[in-house]
Structure 1
Amino acid sequence: MDWTSAAEIAEKVCTGSWTATAVIDDALARISAQNPRLNAFTLVTAERARQEAAHVDQLVAAGKNPGPLAGVPFAVKNLFDIQGEVTLAGSKINRDLPPATADATLIQRLAAAGAILVGALNMGEYAYDFTGENLHYGPSRNPHDLQRMSGGSSGGSGSAVGGSLVPLALGSDTNGSIRVPSSLCGIFGLKPTYGRLSRGGSFPFCPSLDHVGPMARTVQDLALAYDALQGPDDRDAALAERATEPVGVLSNDLDPHLRIAVLGGYFAQQGTDASREALRRVADALAAQATIEIPEVIAARAAAYVITNAESSNLHLPNLRTRAADYDPDVRDRMLAGALLPATAYLQAQRVRARFQKIVAEIFSQYDILLAPATPMTAPAIGQKTMELGGEEMLVRPHLGLYTQPFSFIGLPVVSVPLQLPDSLPIGVQIIAAPWQEAKALQIARVLEARGFRSAIPQT
């Protein structure tokens, strides 16, 4: 079965050209054939998927509307609760937890739209990772080069969508964990505004920074999923009142009134030729009107680290005291460092956050869209520890998020758009909008897609 998008699957299932059962059988066959290479899935929910597919087919046969994502197979990062399954969150420790008693809110919403869950996806332990490597379950691999990183922490999500095992996946993004794997695996990813999509039934990492969102091979699929995922939910206290603003069908045309700026300075100096060239091509395609710098961006990234370390370590203190040996040492040591931070450091980081929000809000009074690289480089090799950026040797694990952290730090909506330069692995560019302006970011991404910036096709 040859499908290119979730929208195509839903259209063919709704019209009876395909059955949901056939689509799910195809997806399960793809997973069986390719997952041993990619290591994207940690759980395949085959029996559940076949039952749900049969239900969708019954609705179609009865002349009822099965939903806008009818028959679309999807998978979720394994920090989302799946009823009857243990929520691993990439860890060894969580294996001892009882099975979830209900699906996460976002799984429920996709199912209500007709989509069909086929499994849970590999991830960095407790989401504290940019590489896609996992000490306990092995690395999820880049579908464009199996010896390279998928990115993290939603690495299995990037690998599964990038490798066309599923057309749609859910990830989480605290400091860049949707955008980094989207960039390295050559797909589209949406980190929505903080408080837009419910985190109900997902394992937390850093509550004041955690976002959840979709990853897909087309922008319209991203928008379809995003619309289905929206809505109020008592399970997430951070969810905003304005949580539902559907995007609908996107246009291929660029609004000439949109004010678009390229981010220079910090966002140009520390990258590679690939990240700079990708940004230049996107800026040229959109006829960006200016190049600007954001003040205090380095301080913002430092403050993001402090908040991440402090909040994550607080959540894990009981296990850090009793089961420290069961953590990946890299994750454990970062959390232990966070546990030693004085309260004054956390409070100062929050002050930096408030000031940076005001700085960026002023920039958005002058521009509608900001452009920046998603990652400073294409996918490093699995196991690679350092990389050269801006003439300096830097650690890979923290610095793959160089360009993503400042925007999740203040909760902005961002779409990562892929492109593949000649003789290169894929790399992404961030389309950044003001709070609650996901529709603008998605519309710009759709324009770029129409102009050739499409998900990369794996050659491996």
Structure 2
Amino acid sequence: MSFDVFTPAHRIAAQVRDGEISAEAVAEAFLARIDNVNPVVNAFTDVTGERALEQARGIDKARAAGQALGPLAGVPFAAKNLFDIAGLPTKAGSKINRERAPALRDAVLVERLNAAGAVLLGGLNMGEYAYDFTGENAHDGPCRNPHDPARMAGGSSSGSGSATAAGLAPLSLGSDTNGSIRVPSSLCGVFGLKPTYGRLPRTRSFPFCDSLDHLGPFARDVTDLAMAYELMQGADPDDPACAQRPVEAVLPSLGSGVGGLRIAVAGGHFSTDGMPEAASAVAAVAKELGATRTIDLAGAGIARAAAFLITNSESSTFHLDRLRERADDFDPETRDRFLAGAMLPAAWYVQAQRARHWFHDAMMRVFADVDLIVAPATPCPAPLVGQKMLVLRGESVPLRPNLGLFTQPISAIGLPVAAVPVFGAGLPIGVQIIAAPWREDLCLRAAFALQQAGVCEAKAPGLA
């Protein structure tokens, strides 16, 4: 039978379990798609074709023997190349890391998806050491937007957003420190989930900024997003930041709707004045969810400044030896930010952490009165590859840091967020659905309601 690479992951798994299509045929279809489309979008840096086919054949043999198959049986996925993949060096988008010895084991989240029957297709392009919002990698080349290859995919999880949007993998894994799941989700027009800080273990992934790093999934379909998230939950002793919490079953409540939920639109720092695409997307989402009030999240700008300082300080300390020994092997833009961070006074870092905790406490008071907050994900749709400046509220500002204008305050305090895509007349742009800590279920319920209503959905790009 013919196979459509844009089929949702949960339907692929059902077809494999029912014997309508073999897992091997699914893997072959996606590998062929990668061969044809990846030269255009540059989403994959490593393709693990033999591994994928071997696992797929094992799934088909298990089915033929009458064995029960996992919930993601035969579903292809890919992982940002800061996740350990057995047999490959963990590049983290860098030149230096590709000299590392190959990983001996997969990252925990890769293992958990494999255990559920998902089939790994390979590693994905990303901004160097995850310090990037553009997806323009100096060593592997820029990752491009499937909806217009002249435009950015967003970063740092650029390959994750691009591959998912382009039909190269129905599921992908990324990381988010300051917005690196939500920015590419927004620019590429797919769904992304940044879980609560400490919800998913980061074991055997390459760090960027330990106190802000999150891992999470991308998908073209909310049911797929929720399924992947649910299957990856559970503490791991090798990530001390991962909370000891019971696995949250989100799929049963996915279709419960948003009736009765108190939903507001973020104002103040999150104002979309002078940003017509972002304003239109937020308005469409707010209308569908019944959000009738706007709240000013006072202190969001301070939290964003704190996120800059914490990220800069922690990451530069982590990379200090590499900076001393191999400064010329960094992307100059990444290197210069690390060097600046290495010179920050310690008192600034301490003050930034204080500001971060203050904003967290302020937001907990907000969530006593609100269940969900709607906010823009990016100030604009995908800029052109190579673009350096952005007009923001009438002022020309550097593009690279300001793509994270709306995501950084939320990362700073570890809140769960679902990024949902809105397609207007042209390119997609994303909206954030934000909840209190550990309420990913509410984010996903709202995202599902928006998808069911047709307000938010991933669309196939016009690629051959």
Whether these two folds match at TM > 0.5 is yes
User: Which of 437, 440, 452 does residue 439 from structure 2 map onto?
Assistant: 437
List per-residue Cα deviations over 1:309-353 (Å, max 9, x = no partner). 000001000010010010001100111110000110000000001
Q: Secondary structure at the match of 1:107?
A: helix
List per-residue Cα deviations over 1:55-94 (Å, max 9, x = no partner). 1111111221220000000000000001111000000000
Shift of 1:253: 4.8
Q: Secondary structure at the match of 2:136?
A: coil
List per-residue Cα deviations over 1:44-64 (Å, max 9, x = no partner). 001100110011111111221
User: Which of 181, 186, 190 does residue 193 from structure 2 map onto?
Assistant: 190
| Contact 1:426-1:456 within 8 A present in 2 as well | no
| Contact 2:257-2:449 within 8 A present in 1 as well | yes
Farther-moved stretch of structure 1 (206-215 vs 93-102): 93-102
Structure 1 residue 144 and structure 2 residue 141: aligned? Answer: no
Farther-moved stretch of structure 1 (60-69 vs 361-370): 60-69
| Contact 1:196-1:243 within 8 A present in 2 as well | no
List per-residue Cα deviations over 1:163-205 (Å, max 9, x = no partner). 0111000000000000000000000000000000010010000
| Contact 2:175-2:214 within 8 A present in 1 as well | yes
Map of 1:314 onto structure 2:
317
Structure 1 residue 233 and structure 2 residue 236: aligned? Answer: yes
Structure 1 residue 367 and structure 2 residue 348: aligned? Answer: no
Structure 1 residue 214 and structure 2 residue 214: aligned? Answer: no
Distance 1:320 1:35 in 2: 32
| Contact 2:282-2:431 within 8 A present in 1 as well | yes
Map of 1:259 onto structure 2:
262
Distance 1:123 1:404 in 2: 18
Map of 1:203 onto structure 2:
206
Structure 1 residue 350 and structure 2 residue 353: aligned? Answer: yes
Structure 1 residue 61 and structure 2 residue 60: aligned? Answer: no
Structure 1 residue 125 and structure 2 residue 124: aligned? Answer: no
| Contact 2:258-2:449 within 8 A present in 1 as well | no
Distance 2:21 2:165 in 1: 23
Map of 1:301 onto structure 2:
304
Map of 2:416 onto structure 1:
413
Map of 1:285 onto structure 2:
288
Distance 1:269 1:214 in 2: 27
Distance 2:205 2:298 in 1: 34
Q: Secondary structure at the match of 1:214?
A: strand
| Contact 2:274-2:394 within 8 A present in 1 as well | no
Farther-moved stretch of structure 1 (412-421 vs 269-278): 269-278
Shift of 1:269: 4.4
Shift of 1:246: 2.0
Distance 1:378 1:221 in 2: 24
Map of 2:173 onto structure 1:
170
Q: Secondary structure at the match of 1:60?
A: helix
Shift of 1:271: 5.5
Aligned residues: 459
Shift of 1:386: 0.2
User: Which of 88, 105, 125 does residue 108 from structure 2 map onto?
Assistant: 105
Quick one: which amino acid aligns to residue 200 of structure 2? Answer: L
Q: Secondary structure at the match of 1:333?
A: helix
Q: Secondary structure at the match of 1:189?
A: strand
Shift of 1:224: 0.7
| Contact 1:130-1:177 within 8 A present in 2 as well | yes
Q: Gapped runs of 5+ residues in structure 2?
A: none
Map of 2:404 onto structure 1:
401
Q: Secondary structure at the match of 1:158?
A: helix
Distance 2:158 2:273 in 1: 23
Map of 2:448 onto structure 1:
446
Quick one: which amino acid aligns to residue 325 of structure 1? Answer: D
Quick one: which amino acid aligns to residue 436 of structure 1? Answer: W
What TM-score do you get using the length of structure 2 for normalisation?
A: 0.98
Map of 2:17 onto structure 1:
14
User: Which of 103, 113, 117 does residue 114 from structure 1 map onto?
Assistant: 117
Distance 2:402 2:246 in 1: 32
RMSD between superposed Cα atoms in Å: 1.0
Distance 1:148 1:227 in 2: 33
Structure 1 residue 52 and structure 2 residue 60: aligned? Answer: no
Map of 1:43 onto structure 2:
46
Q: Secondary structure at the match of 2:142?
A: coil
Shift of 1:250: 4.6
Distance 2:416 2:459 in 1: 23
| Contact 1:42-1:120 within 8 A present in 2 as well | yes
What TM-score do you get using the length of structure 1 for normalisation?
A: 0.98
Distance 2:254 2:440 in 1: 14
CA change 1:392–1:258 in 2 (3 A) is same
